[in-house]
Chain A
Amino acid sequence: MKDLVIIGGGPAGMSAAVAAYESGIRDILILERDNALGGILQQCIHNGFGLHKFGEELTGPEYAWRYEKKVRELGIPFELNTMVLDISEDKVITATSAEKGVFQIQARAVILAMGCRERAKGALNIAGARPAGIYSAGTAQKLVNMKGYMPGKKVVILGSGDIGLIMARRMTLEGAKVEAVCELMPYSGGLARNIEQCLNDFDIPLKLSHTVVKIHGKKRVEGVTIAKVDENRRPIPETMEFIECDTLLLSVGLIPENELSKCAGVDLDRITSGAVVDQDRQTSCEGVFACGNVLHVHDLVDFVSEEAEIAGKSAAAYINGVKGEKISVSLRTDGKIRYTVPQTITECKDISVYFRVADVYRNVKINVYSGDELIFSKKRPKVAPGEMESIKLACDKFKDASELMFKLEEV
């Protein structure tokens, strides 16, 4: 029996462990399938991490180290090379490692912090064979940054999310020529700063409303045909253009890694593909919490740490049997706002609500209604799907409500 088992030793798992420890829990175990702590940050060698949390710009491995150091200093136990296979509804965890074989642990509380994986689709509807030279952007990142292996010399990137942009710069610095970044949507899903410093700095063209329609080559990629798309995202034949290249990177998004959550019987949100949680990041299964990219995909690790601290503290409170004033509020959205995390509020306390929008909107207000009453309003000059938003709500605003409606309205 363990008080708290944390699955995943990325920034979410480590922050949650530290927060739980600082809330008085000592019987903690982190299980990590990789051979080191740090999660995806280990391969994110670029800087841009930690501005919120530490007030300085760190690289991924440096940010991870700040937390690993704390975990080590506090003596929080972790087991590496240990893959969790199953979590039962009564919180029995089945895991396997070369050292121990298959083993089980009964936990009083569990924190899910398994991160996310890259979407595989996007490649599926492109014509042509599947020659060597097609990689997901994340795989290419791992090859270049951790193995020191360059996947190719002439590159086209499909998808303009941050990983694709970061890889455009990375491969250019290592001597490759990035011919173009194609983005299906009329806007980029990546941060403006990354378009500037990863593409514009190197004169790499960003082709918005463009897609790859054909991959050429039998054994190895020899080129791609790209085309502009119309409003319905259908390729326009007259705009087809051949680009010679030996590598195609796909950067078409991330999706929470929730196979295990399904085993535990946790309710999932259709939109986030992560668990449905309350303000404490507790899932529909009592004593099972979730945080980080397994809950919803974050672009900033600082918010991952923040969320994980909430989960860690709340798991500690759960283990210690601390209970607050119960309420029951569900959070709903108008579609322009796609989702919120948390999705429910079950206890009366001040909270932060995180969400994403469906499209790029300018000069809007984020309005929150309880019935007809406007309980919160905030102006934003611009909101975009690539950038997570957050607002703070005081408990006295919603404690008598049963439902809160989140709307994006014109100013």
Chain B
Amino acid sequence: MNTKRELTCIVCPIGCSLVAELCDGKVVSVTGNTCPRGKVYAETECVAPMRTITTTVKCKNGEMLPVKTATPIPKEKMAEAMEIINKANPDLPISVGDVIIESVFGSKIVAAKNLD
């Protein structure tokens, strides 16, 4: 049986309203997307939603360092990922792009700011 799911594309600020048609848990069609990225988004969102996390970690000197997942991680792992990331306590100096944690649910955690 085919079911329909309404989604808001979160890939860019335009935020297109998408409709994904599913058959046996697989996406068979996507409408409403202005660009191809919307289709890809709907396909993963219906099957295995992924999110980027942006947060901060406290450095040894007490300063807060903004960090992010280099690639999106499974949406349902966000809370667990936060617990792992919050334990990091890096040393300075740090440059944009430095790896703070090697792997959290498949993604590196990287620095988003220079601190010296």
Chain A interfacial positions (CB closer than 8 Å to B): 42, 45-48, 51, 57, 59-62, 65, 144-148, 170, 173-175, 191-193, 195-197, 201, 299-300, 387
Known: A47-B68, A59-B54. A65 touches B114 (CB 8 A): yes
> B70 CB to closest chain A CB, in angstroms?
11
Known: A59-B112, A148-B58, A195-B8. A173 touches B53 (CB 8 A): yes
> A113 CB to closest chain B CB, in angstroms?
21
Give the chain A neighbours of B51 by CB distance below 8 A.
197, 201
Indicate if the CB atoms of B55 and A173 lie closer than 8 Å: yes
Closest to A46 in B: B54
Known: A59-B66, A62-B96, A173-B78. A48 touches B112 (CB 8 A): no
B12 within 8 A of A: yes
B13 within 8 A of A: yes
Indicate if the CB atoms of B64 and A146 lie closer than 8 Å: yes
B15 within 8 A of A: yes
Indicate if the CB atoms of A145 and B66 lie closer than 8 Å: yes
Indicate if the CB atoms of B96 and A51 lie closer than 8 Å: no
Give the chain B neighbours of A57 by CB distance below 8 A.
52
Indicate if the CB atoms of A148 and B15 lie closer than 8 Å: no
Identify the 3 closest CB pairs spanning chains A and B, nearest first: A192-B15, A45-B66, A61-B113
Give the chain B neighbours of A173 by CB distance below 8 A.
53, 55, 78-79, 82
Task: Report the bound CA distance from A193 to B15 in whole Å.
Answer: 5
Give the chain A neighbours of B112 by CB distance below 8 A.
45, 59, 61-62
Chain A interface SS verdict (over half): helix
Give the chain A neighbours of B13 by CB distance below 8 A.
48, 51, 191, 193, 299-300, 387
Q: How many chain B residues touch the partner (CB < 8 A)?
A: 27
Closest to A42 in B: B113
Indicate if the CB atoms of B64 and A147 lie closer than 8 Å: yes
In the complex, the number of residue pairs spanning A and B with C-beta atoms less than 8 Å apart equals 72
Indicate if the CB atoms of B56 and A51 lie closer than 8 Å: no
Indicate if the CB atoms of B12 and A51 lie closer than 8 Å: yes
Indicate if the CB atoms of A65 and B113 lie closer than 8 Å: yes
> B57 CB to closest chain A CB, in angstroms?
9
Give the chain A neighbours of B12 by CB distance below 8 A.
51, 193
Indicate if the CB atoms of A196 and B8 lie closer than 8 Å: yes
Indicate if the CB atoms of B15 and A65 lie closer than 8 Å: no
B92 within 8 A of A: no
B9 within 8 A of A: yes
Indicate if the CB atoms of A59 and B68 lie closer than 8 Å: yes
Please tell me which one of the listed residues A145, A193, A195, A300 contacts residue B56 in the complex, with CB atoms under 8 A apart: A145
Indicate if the CB atoms of B10 and A193 lie closer than 8 Å: yes
B 16-68 contacts with A by CB, 8 A: 17, 51-56, 58, 64, 66, 68
Task: Report the bound CA distance from A60 to B79 in whole Å.
Answer: 22
B4 within 8 A of A: no
B77 within 8 A of A: no
Indicate if the CB atoms of A61 and B66 lie closer than 8 Å: yes
> A196 CB to closest chain B CB, in angstroms?
4
Indicate if the CB atoms of B64 and A193 lie closer than 8 Å: no
Pick from A175, A193, A387 the residue with the most CB of B within 10 Å. Answer: A193
Known: A59-B112, A173-B55, A192-B15. A145 touches B9 (CB 8 A): no
> A116 CB to closest chain B CB, in angstroms?
19
Task: Report the bound CA distance from A397 to B99 in whole Å.
Answer: 53
Closest to A146 in B: B64
Give the chain A neighbours of B17 by CB distance below 8 A.
192
